[in-house]
């Protein structure tokens, strides 16, 4: 068992290294340096800049410097926001994204999972149909539409929530709903189908036949197994939404990570782009790892060594 965890951590580490290298070389392929602009810089300045950012060295040396930095959690300097390191940018943007992402995750779990279970228990009832219809609609509407509709109606027309700002909890409502809208719909479908499957299993029938109360059957026997697809989805999703939704942060003018990422992409601030990709990937891979480990707690039948 312990052997498995060690193996899992090592493979995750290797994957992260591969991703970082891949991203690094991918962006090296882009023609033109980060300081190539419409207006030609004086040669001396450009030389100094290249020297400062190690761009005068061969690619392989740059790669070595970058990887060395990565191992010490140093993601380098931003090309555009002068004097700011990528670490600082992440430290600046991550709290905002994490608050919204955390709230959204809570909302998804608190709303999505019970909805799915209720509609599974009342299969083919009106409640089930309404919930599943709403979930289907929710999955088909892009998050930028949800976000703009929230801004338009609840912030603009009704004035219930502020359109932007980042100080009061009231303000977090809009982005949280916008971020979680798609996932709530998606998550509510997962426990429904798995619950339906589980409820047909023999052991549930046995439990019922033994006269165990319906409440116990559902929550003690069926619920755990119905949670597996939810965990599979929610794990990586947490990484995705905690590191900032590009779209929602843009619409609500949030100073979060997603905003910095998109900005770095449009500004050709490559170090920031790589740094944030790596940060996101690490987060993502760790979450996937947690999901794998969580399986073994929920369902002991899932073997760890396979």
Partner 1 sequence: MNDKYTFISREEKLDSEQTRKSLTYWQDVWRRLRKNRLSMGGLFGVIFILFFGLIGPSFREGDYSDQILDYSNLPPRLDIYEIEKDRFVYVTREYRVLETDEKGTLLGRIDQVYRDIPNRLLYFSDEYKVSLEGTVSGTYDYPGLLSSKIYYSDAWGIGLKDVSYPNGDDYVEVAYIHPDSPLYGLLIDGEQFDLSVIDSLEEVVLSSGDLQTGLTGDDGAEAMMDAFDNNSDLVEMTFRGEILTMDYSYGLVDPEDRLEGLEDVNIELNYKGRITMNVTDSVMNRLYPWGTDNLGRDLLARVMYGARISLFVAAVATLVNFFVGVLYGSVSGYVGGRVDNFMMRFVDIINSVPLTLYVILLMVLLREVVIDLTIFGHYFVLFRGQGGLGTIIIALGSVYWVGMARLVRGQVLGLKEQEFVLAARTIGVSNFRIILRHLIPNAMGPIVVSMTMMIPAAVFTEAFLSFIGLGLSAPLASWGTLANDALAGLVTYPYQLFFPATAIAITMLAFNFLGDGLRDALDPRLRKG
- Asked whether position 277 contacts partner 1 by CB under 8 A, the answer is yes
Task: List binders of partner 1 among 155-184 (CB under 8 A).
Answer: 156
Kind plus residue range of the DSSP H or E element containing 48: helix 43-52
Q: Which of 112, 104, 118, 276 is nearest to 195 (CA)?
A: 118
Query: Minimum Å distance from CB 59 to partner 1?
Result: 15
Figure out which of the listed residues 84, 125, 140, 206 binds partner 1, where binding follows CB under 8 A: 140
Subset of residues 200 to 219 that bind partner 1, contact rule: CB under 8 A = none
SS3 11: helix
Among 33, 54, 250, 304, binds partner 1 (CB under 8 A): 250
C-alpha to C-alpha distance for 123 and 89, rounded to whole angstroms: 48
Stretch that binds partner 1, among 39-47, 49-57, 216-224, 247-255 (CB under 8 A): 247-255
Binding mask 4-33 for partner 1 (x = CB under 8 A): -----------x--xx---x--xx-xxxx-
CA 278/CA 23 separation, integer angstroms? 8
Q: How far is the CB of 204 from partner 1 (least distance, A)?
A: 21
| Greatest extent of the chain over all pairs of C-alpha atoms, in Å | 85
Binding status of residue 298 toward partner 1 by CB under 8 A = no
Percent helix, strand, coil in the chain, to 5, is 75, 0, 25
Provide the 3-class DSSP secondary structure of residue 241: helix
CA 87 to chain centre: 19
Site for partner 1 in 109-138 (CB under 8 A): 136-137
Closer to partner 1 by CB, 24 or 171: give it. Answer: 24
Q: Write out the two tokens for 165.
A: 């700002």
Using the rule CB under 8 A, is 273 a contact of partner 1?
yes
Nearest CB to partner 1, comparing residues 31 and 211: 31
Q: Tell me if 262 sits within 8 A of 4, measured CB to CB.
A: no
Q: Give the footprint of partner 1 on residues 29-58 (CB under 8 A).
A: 29-32
- To partner 1, the closest distance from the beta carbon of 213 in angstroms equals 33
Rg (CA), the chain: 24
Q: Shortest Cβ distance from residue 18 to partner 1 (Å)?
A: 6
Binding of residue 80 to partner 1 (CB under 8 A) = no
- Site size for partner 1, by CB under 8 A? 40
Could you tell me which of 248, 296, 71 has the C-alpha nearest to residue 150? 248
DSSP assignment of 190-240 equals HHHHHHHHHHTSHHHHHHHHTT--HHHIIIIIIHHHHTHHHHHHHHHHHHH
Token pair listed for 284: 């993502």
Q: Residue 110 to residues 100, 253, 280, 305: CA-CA distances in angstroms?
A: 15, 27, 25, 32
Applying CB under 8 A, among 81, 98, 288, 291 the residue interacting with partner 1 is 288
Residues making contact with partner 1 (CB under 8 A): 15, 18-19, 23, 26-27, 29-32, 136-137, 139-142, 144-145, 148, 151-152, 156, 236, 239-240, 246-247, 250-251, 262, 265-266, 268, 273, 277, 280-281, 284-285, 288
């Amino acid at each position: 068992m312990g052997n498995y965890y060690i193996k899992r951590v090592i493979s995750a580490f290797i994957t992260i290294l591969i991703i970082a290298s891949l991203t690094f070389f991918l962006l090296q392929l882009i023609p033109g340096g980060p300081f190539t602009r419409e207006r030609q810089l004086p040669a001396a300045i450009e030389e100094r800049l290249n020297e400062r950012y190690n761009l005068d060295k061969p690619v392989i040396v740059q790669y070595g410097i970058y990887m060395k930095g990565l191992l010490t959690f140093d993601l380098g300097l931003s090309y555009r926001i002068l004097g700011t390191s990528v670490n600082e940018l992440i430290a600046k943007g991550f709290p905002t994204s994490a608050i919204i992402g955390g709230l959204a995750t809570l909302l998804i779990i608190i709303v999505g999972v019970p909805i799915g279970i209720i509609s599974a228990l009342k299969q083919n009832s009106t409640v089930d149909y309404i919930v599943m219809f709403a979930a289907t609609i929710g999955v088909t509407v892009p998050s930028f539409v949800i976000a703009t509709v929230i801004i338009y109606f609840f912030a603009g027309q009704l004035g219930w929530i502020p359109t932007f700002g980042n100080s009061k909890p009231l303000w977090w409502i809009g982005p949280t709903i916008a971020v979680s809208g798609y996932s709530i719909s998606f998550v509510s479908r997962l426990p429904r189908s798995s619950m339906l499957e589980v409820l047909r299993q023999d052991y549930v029938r046995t439990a019922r036949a033994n006269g165990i109360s319906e409440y116990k059957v559902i929550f003690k026997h069926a619920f755990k197994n119905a949670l597996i697809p939810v965990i599979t989805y929610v794990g990586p999703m947490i990484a995705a939404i905690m590191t900032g939704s590009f779209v929602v942060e843009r619409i609500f003018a949030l100073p979060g990570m997603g905003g910095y990422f998109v900005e770095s992409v449009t500004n050709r601030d490559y170090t920031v782009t790589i740094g944030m990709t790596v940060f996101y990937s690490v987060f993502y891979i760790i979450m996937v790892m947690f999901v794998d480990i969580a399986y073994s707690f929920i369902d002991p039948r899932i073997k760890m060594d396979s």
